[in-house]
Structures are given as C-alpha cells and as structure tokens.
Amino acid sequence: MKEYELTVLIHPDLETDLEAPLEKVRTLVTANGGNVIKEDNQGKKRLAYRIKGEDFAVYVYMDVELPAEALLKISNTLNITDEVLRYLLVKVDEKGRALLAEAKERAKNNDNAEDDSEE
C-alpha cells in the first residue's frame, strides 16, 4: 500500500454536524482496503472561486494508505457525493517530505544556537 494525501472540501452548511460526512469518507477509505493515518480539520475557509454556488467550504486533510486499485473507486464515489464540493487525492512525495523535515530540523537547531549565543 502506498501513502496518499486526501483533501476534502465539505459543504459549509454541514459545519455544525461535520462528523456524518467525515465518517462517510473514512468508511469509503476503509471499505476499499485502506486506512486513515492522520486527520486534520482545518475549519471553514473562503474559497478562491465559487464551487457549486458556494463561497466557503470546510477543509479536511487526511493522510491515508491505499492499495492502487482503490484510487479509482474512491475518486468515482467522491465525485457523486453531495456533501463533498471538491477533493484532491495525491501520492505523497517522500523526497519532498524528507526535505521539509530536514529544513525544520535545521531551523530548530539554528534557533537553539541563537538562544545559546544570547546567554
């Protein structure tokens, strides 16, 4: 199984009861042989342009592991799900993730070095 990033834009009217559409997405992932590693609800945000007549959407980001054959099934189902305005399912770039972690580590070490020099 490979690791993917799934970002789902949920209809803003469902903000008060967000658990039902999220459970639908989680069930879709697990029913197709995958599992949700991490989930991050980023809240309601203004869209850059209107999607299906809406100016706002609730952004939910998920790290998921999926078998290759599940991608098409998940994409087709999310396309016809009323609660989902838009989604993006992409493969994780391991090199990019490693570079980002390395850059964070360097920044952390630089901050610690500056703190030591001030004392």
pLDDT digits (tens, 9 = 90+) for 2-27: 999 999 999 999 988 899 999 999 99
Within-domain flag for 117: no
- Give the total number of structural domains in the chain: 1
Residue 119 to residue 109: CA distance in whole angstroms:
16
Say yes or no to pLDDT of 1 above 70.
yes
Q: Which domain holds residue 65?
A: 2-92
Look up the pTM and report it. 0.78
Residue 77 to residue 8: CA distance in whole angstroms:
13
Residue-wise pLDDT for 47-99, tens only, equals 999 999 999 999 999 999 999 899 999 999 999 989 999 999 999 888 888 88
Question: Are the C-beta atoms of 58 and 23 separated by less than 8 Å?
Answer: no
Within-domain flag for 106: no
What's phi and psi for 114, nearest 5 deg?
-70, -40
Sheet containing strand 35-51, strands side by side: 35-51, 54-66, 2-10, 84-91
- Provide the CATH number for the domain around residue 72: 3.30.70.60
Within-domain flag for 116: no
Q: For Cα atoms 59, 15, 19, give the angle at the middle one, nearest 5 degrees.
A: 85
